[in-house]
Amino acid sequence: MKRIVYMDNAATTRVDDRVVKAMLPYFTEEYGNPSSLHKLGIEAQRAVEKARETIARSIGASPEEIIFTSGATESDNIAIKGYCRKHKSDKKNKIITTKIEHAAVFRSCVHLSREGFNIVYLNVDKEGFIDMEQLKKELDDSVLLVSIIHGNNEIGTIQDIEAIGKLCKEHNVVFHTDATQSYCKVPINVDEENIDMLTMNAHKMHGPKGIGALYIRDGIKIDPLYGGGPHEFRLRPGTHNVPGIVGFAKAVEIESKEMEKTAEYVKKLRDYLVERLLKEIDGCYLNGSSDLSIEKRLPNNANLRFDYIEGESLVFRLSDYGIMTSTGSACSSANLTPSHVLNAIGLPHEKAHGSLRLTLSKYTTKKDVDYAVEKIKKVVEELRELSPLTKKENKEKERRDNGFGLHGKGNRTVSEPQECGGA
Amino acid sequence: MDYTEKVIELFRNPKNVGELEKPSVSVQEGSPACGDIIQLQLKIDENGRIEDVKFKSFGCASNIATASIATEMIKGKHIDEAEKISWAEVTKELGGLPKVKVHCSVLAVDAIKQAIERYKIEKGITKVNAESITKDFILRKLRHVIDPSVGTDIVRLKEVLYVGIEKEGDSVDVLIQMRKQENDELEAHMKEEIREKLEFIPKIRKIEIEFVDHPQLI
């Protein structure tokens, strides 16, 4: 079979074999509904409650503070809409968020703005960090909720959650953070970091798709989004996804135990990947935090951009070599606008179009990285040969260089313009 | 993205990529801002037949595939026939394109039409006299100039504030007033693009481009 090098772990991950094994009995043997009274139901309920404990423990919370959802998108919606609708008043109707949120948070805020909420989108600097001064300034008496992404899904930048949590606590404002990408990759403790609501999910960390969780600090009231049964403390109705919940907990168990080791391993590979690409390809730049430490950037995230080429072409050509990646190019999206995150860090459209996201995992090897680097070099070169921009820019550069030479060296003769098609 | 086999194949092995040594006509359509640019060159013989065609692309898979197939389709054809090429024909030849990709695929067809129109004007096949250079004629040309900060053409953005045409014998002077841009670099870029779209037209003696806060009433 053709070689597959999977470098799109921010999109989803390979499920750990141990997770699959833990899930299987819950399809064919322990298939009861946790709400049923009989023995099979009770067994299923026990499995769900055990899983709830595992997840609560992983973030320093109590089991009653965890509700299971269908994934991070639902968790974000419940946290933001559920909380804001419950507590809206004439005096309190402001939500503070950022310009680099995932669509689940961003669109939830847009929905609320139509219901009369006042939404403030914080700016970020060119590496994707929010402006703490702006946050301080915006934290007035009308603020109901602050929702700021933990580790960014595109550029990997990790916000100073502890400082934000502290600030929110001082102002008595509820703080939600979407930790979809960072959960079980970097340590999170809801009490130490003053997090009031936390979005988590399983499939970005070698668990199954279709299952997530939301931490809601004890005492915080929210309105459920759907009508239904009394499941999940009456906050999220619907029959439990028992195999998913069991798989999620198994993944959390594995990943939190191996977190430090995995982070160190993956970071080393990521640093090596970034270093090689920056060194070996001209006109290649890193997007997001330049501080590659685990406190500032997700250890598995690399986001680069290349002059003169377009991201979708890059992704497709790499896919031909079995390398799975993603891009913030407009052509990859339905509305043809480039990534709002890359825009927010100040990249003009044409630069955002040339971006490539490579996200690694514990299954990535050094051989994979070496293979990917070789192929990226090749494909970038091929696409630059195809690009009309390469030549134009080269000519301009040449003109500038020649100009400098004329002034600098007196009567230097300017040679005929060189043919520089990029080859 | 769900592309047909044909699109993927042409993207992997594009046809007619490169540049001609002595093109009869050369055009560039699109802008890096919208993520798609095509440079197209035609070599046309004395009978008006397209001898050779080459393109370069900054764009996605569908852009490259469309340019490949469209250039294949016009090769060897007479320009009168080639200029009739339609986007629908090209897409059909590709076995269809995803809906969101329409934007990227029209560019190749646009470039072909622009190149032939330009060639015909330059060679005097399409007669342009002072009377035919109207405000509408100029605006039609300016629709192909894209504001790189937005990715939309300058006419649609209402950045063209005033087009003045002054007749001088059998030639004309054109004055274009543009809305002031954020910086000099952007203005210089637009100036160059506008000139590129108009300069080749015979009977235009002088092109003046100004960036102003408010249009002057002349």
* DSSP of A343-403: HHTT--HHHHTTEEEEE--TT--HHHHHHHHHHHHHHHHHHHHH-HHHHHHHHHHHHHHHH
Closest Cα in chain A, distance from residue B169 (Å) = 37
A194-197 long-range contacts (CB < 8 A, ≥24 apart) are A194/A162, A194/A165, A194/A166, A194/A168, A194/A169, A195/A161, A195/A165, A196/A168, A196/A220, A197/A79, A197/A83
Does the distance separating the beta carbons of A332 and B35 come in below 8 Å?
A: no
Extended strands (E) in A159-300: 174-178, 197-201, 212-216, 284-286
Taking the C-alpha atoms of residue A161 and residue A177, their distance in angstroms, rounded to an integer, is: 8
Query: Of the CATH numbers 3.30.300.130, 3.20.20.150, 3.40.50.620, 3.40.50.970, which one belongs to the domain with range B130-212?
Result: 3.30.300.130
Task: Share the mean pLDDT of chain B.
Answer: 88
Query: B35 and chain A: CB distance < 8 Å anywhere?
Result: yes
Q: Which residues of B touch A334 (CB under 8 A)?
A: 100
Query: Given this model, what pLDDT does residue A336 score?
Result: 60
Give me the CATH topology for the region A17-257.
Aspartate Aminotransferase; domain 2 (3.40.640)
Query: A320 and chain B: CB distance < 8 Å anywhere?
Result: yes
**Residue keyed to tokens 């993205």:** B1
Q: Cα angle vertex A56, ends A55, A61, to 5°?
A: 155
Identified catalytic residue from A168, A184, A331, A420 = A331
Taking the C-alpha atoms of residue A124 and residue A128, their distance in angstroms, rounded to an integer, is: 5
Nearest CB to B59; choose among A310, A335, A349: A310
Closest Cα in chain A, distance from residue B175 (Å) = 28
CB-neighbour burial class of residue A381 (10 A; exposed 0-12, middle 13-18, buried 19+) = middle
Does the distance separating the beta carbons of B34 and A332 come in below 8 Å?
A: no
pLDDT one-digit tens code per residue, B9-65 = 999 999 999 999 999 999 988 877 667 889 999 999 999 999 999 999 988 888 899
Cα end-to-end distance, chain B, whole Å: 52
Taking the C-alpha atoms of residue B28 and residue B114, their distance in angstroms, rounded to an integer, is: 9
Whether B60 sits among the annotated catalytic residues: the reply is: no
Residue B104 has pLDDT above 50, yes or no: yes
Pairs of CB atoms within 8 A across A/B: 83
Query: Given this model, what pLDDT does residue A398 score?
Result: 53
Query: A417 and chain B: CB distance < 8 Å anywhere?
Result: no
Q: By percentage, how much of chain B surpasses pLDDT 90?
A: 33
Query: Given this model, what pLDDT does residue A121 score?
Result: 97
**Residue keyed to tokens 């990529």:** B17
Taking the C-alpha atoms of residue B160 and residue A352, their distance in angstroms, rounded to an integer, is: 27
Domain boundaries, chain A: 17-257, 259-386
Give me the CATH topology for the region B5-122.
Sufe protein. Chain: A (3.90.1010)
Q: Which residues of A touch B40 (CB under 8 A)?
A: none
Query: Given this model, what pLDDT does residue A394 score?
Result: 59
More confident residue, A247 or B198: A247
Compare all CA atoms of chain B with the CA of A320 and give the residue at the minimum distance: B12
Taking the C-alpha atoms of residue A70 and residue A371, their distance in angstroms, rounded to an integer, is: 36
Q: Which residues of A touch B61 (CB under 8 A)?
A: 312-313, 316
**Residue keyed to tokens 């007479």:** B78
Residue type, A381: E
Identified catalytic residue from B17, B34, B73, B128 = B34
Structure tokens at B69: 């197939």
Nearest residue to B38 (alpha-carbon basis) of B117, B112, B107, B140 = B107
Query: Given this model, what pLDDT does residue B130 score?
Result: 82
Closest Cα in chain A, distance from residue B144 (Å) = 17
Encode chain A (423 residues) as per-residue pLDDT tens digits.
589 999 999 999 999 999 999 999 999 999 999 999 999 999 999 999 999 999 999 999 999 999 999 999 999 999 999 999 999 999 999 999 999 999 999 999 999 999 999 999 999 999 999 999 999 999 999 999 999 999 999 999 999 999 999 999 999 999 999 999 999 999 999 999 999 999 999 999 999 999 999 999 999 999 999 999 999 999 999 999 999 999 999 999 999 999 999 999 999 999 999 999 999 999 999 999 999 999 999 999 999 999 999 898 999 999 999 999 999 876 656 556 778 999 999 988 778 888 999 999 999 999 999 999 999 999 999 999 999 888 655 555 555 554 433 333 333 333 333 333 332
**Interface-testing mutation among A386, A393, A396, A400, with chain B (most B C-beta atoms within 10 A):** A386
**Interface-testing mutation among B41, B60, B182, with chain A (most A C-beta atoms within 10 A):** B60
Query: Given this model, what pLDDT does residue A126 score?
Result: 96
ipTM score: 0.77
Query: Given this model, what pLDDT does residue A334 score?
Result: 56
Q: Which residues contact A177 (CB under 8 A, 6 or more apart)?
A: A147, A148, A149, A150, A159, A161, A164, A195, A197, A198, A199
Q: Which residues of A touch B181 (CB under 8 A)?
A: none
Cβ–Cβ < 8 Å for B7, B97: yes
Closest Cα in chain A, distance from residue B58 (Å) = 5
Nearest residue to B136 (alpha-carbon basis) of B170, B165, B116, B108 = B165
- Give the β-pairing of A143-147 and A94-98: parallel
Q: Which residues of B touch A385 (CB under 8 A)?
A: 17
Does the distance separating the beta carbons of A388 and B58 come in below 8 Å?
A: yes
Structure tokens at B201: 């037209």
Query: Given this model, what pLDDT does residue A70 score?
Result: 98
Does the distance separating the beta carbons of A313 and B59 come in below 8 Å?
A: yes
Interface subset of B 153-212, CB within 8 angstroms of A = none
HSE on the CB side for A292, CA within 13 Å? 19
Query: What is the widest separation between alpha-carbon atoms in chain A?
Result: 97
CATH architecture under which domain A259-386 falls: Alpha-Beta Complex (3.90)
Does the distance separating the beta carbons of A348 and B148 come in below 8 Å?
A: yes
Does the distance separating the beta carbons of A334 and B35 come in below 8 Å?
A: no
Give SS3 for A28: helix
Query: B102 and chain A: CB distance < 8 Å anywhere?
Result: no
Write the DSSP string, B112-130.
HHHHHHHHHHHTTSS---G
Q: Cα angle vertex B56, ends B10, B28, to 5°?
A: 130
Taking the C-alpha atoms of residue A338 and residue A44, their distance in angstroms, rounded to an integer, is: 45
**Residue keyed to tokens 């790499």:** A318
**Interface-testing mutation among A336, A383, A399, A420, with chain B (most B C-beta atoms within 10 A):** A336
Give SS3 for A240: coil
Compare all CA atoms of chain B with the CA of A329 and give the residue at the minimum distance: B35
Query: A334 and chain B: CB distance < 8 Å anywhere?
Result: yes
Query: Given this model, what pLDDT does residue A333 score?
Result: 60
Residue B216 has pLDDT above 70, yes or no: no
DSSP structure class, residue A98 = E
Interface subset of A 338-367, CB within 8 angstroms of B = 338, 348-350, 353
Angle in degrees, 0-180, between the axes of helices A39-58 and A242-257, rounded to the nearest 10 = 30
Cα end-to-end distance, chain A, whole Å: 32
Taking the C-alpha atoms of residue B168 and residue B217, their distance in angstroms, rounded to an integer, is: 20
Q: Which letter, b or e, does each residue of A154-192 get, where b requires 16 or more Cβ atoms within 10 Å of its Cβ?
A: bbbbbbbbeebbebbeeeebbbbbbbbbbbbbbbbebee
More confident residue, A86 or B156: A86
Residue A160, CA distances (Å) to A151, A157, A267, B28, B180 in order: 10, 10, 19, 46, 40
Compare all CA atoms of chain B with the CA of A328 and give the residue at the minimum distance: B35
Cβ–Cβ < 8 Å for B18, B54: yes
Query: Given this model, what pLDDT does residue A421 score?
Result: 31
Query: Given this model, what pLDDT does residue B169 score?
Result: 80
Query: Given this model, what pLDDT does residue A222 score?
Result: 96
Nearest CB to B35; choose among A310, A316, A386: A310
CA B75 distance to own-chain centroid: 19
